[in-house]
Amino acid sequence: MTFEYRIAMLQQGKVTYVNGQWAGRMPLQMAVSNSAKGLESCDDESTWLQNAGAEGWELVSVTVTPVQAPGSQETLTRLYLKRRRS
Q: What is the pLDDT of residues 26-44, one digit of tens each?
A: 988 888 888 889 999 999 9
Q: What is the pLDDT of residues 41-81, one digit of tens each?
A: 999 999 999 999 999 999 999 999 988 878 778 889 999 99
The pTM for the full model equals: 0.87
Residue 69 backbone phi and psi in degrees, to 5? -135, 140
Q: Which domain holds residue 14?
A: 3-84
**In terms of C-beta density within 10 A (0-12 exposed, 13-18 middle, 19 or more buried), how is residue 38 classed?**
buried
Helix (H) or strand (E) holding 52: helix 45-54
> Can you tell me the distance from the alpha carbon of 76 to that of 47, in angstroms, rounded to the nearest whole number?
18
Closest residue by Cα to residue 77 from 59, 58, 63, 56? 63
Which CATH number belongs to the domain containing residue 55 in this structure?
Answer: 3.30.1410
The total domain count for the chain is 1
